[in-house]
Amino acid sequence: MTAFYLTHPQVEIEPERPVPEWRLSGRGRQRVEAMLGKTWLRPIRRIVSSAELKAVETAALIAARLGVAIEVDPEMGENDRSATGFLQPDEFEAAADRFFGEPQKSWRGWERAVDAADRIEAAVRRALNRSELVPTLLVGHGAVGTLLKCRIGSRRISRREDQPAGGGSLFAFGIASRELLCDWTPMETFEGVDRAG
């Protein structure tokens, strides 16, 4: 049985609003809608989302197509960057380099990468620790998704493991085996995996 971790795509950047309250942009919404006819989505029977608005909006579009309820878990949220608030793109990219490059350290009060990795791994384990295993879609964010992928793939935390720019990418792993079945793939081009893991 397979689980898929999908990151929300592009958002409306609103510096005056807390980042967890940002919404999908028109482009982001279009990308999700373009993915809804994909064959790999049809077997999904559970959707578990971060509580952040952009992730919930992504999950809701998919859930409406599949007729599946959304389960929301705040512990699946993005790494806590509230200590700095909004950062301009170049400053954010430099901060992200530090976040991944020094996972044991907090950059200006951000949640440490090792702590965010523990949190997302625990949240996903809880979500998937059920007697009835069903194909599951986890909807979240790029940084914690990368940390989760590193944990599942037994890879060192590194920005090289990060998703492509723009978000809206996914990877798959076996629910029982916890084996990484594919690396980040843009949602538009993902066609599924060859085995159930």
pLDDT in tens, 116-125: 999 999 999 9
The label of the residue with tokens 């878990």 reads 73
Which residues are CB-neighbours of 69 under 8 A, at least 6 positions away? 47, 63
Question: Are the C-beta atoms of 8 and 169 separated by less than 8 Å?
Answer: no
pLDDT at position 197 is 45
pLDDT at position 196 is 46
What are the C-alpha distances in Å from 117 to residues 11, 80, 113, 130, 190?
Answer: 23, 12, 6, 21, 25
Q: Which range (55-64, 108-117, 188-197) has the least confidence?
A: 188-197
Question: Are the C-beta atoms of 191 and 38 separated by less than 8 Å?
Answer: yes
CA distance 100 to 112: 9
Percent of residues, the chain, with pLDDT higher than 70? 98
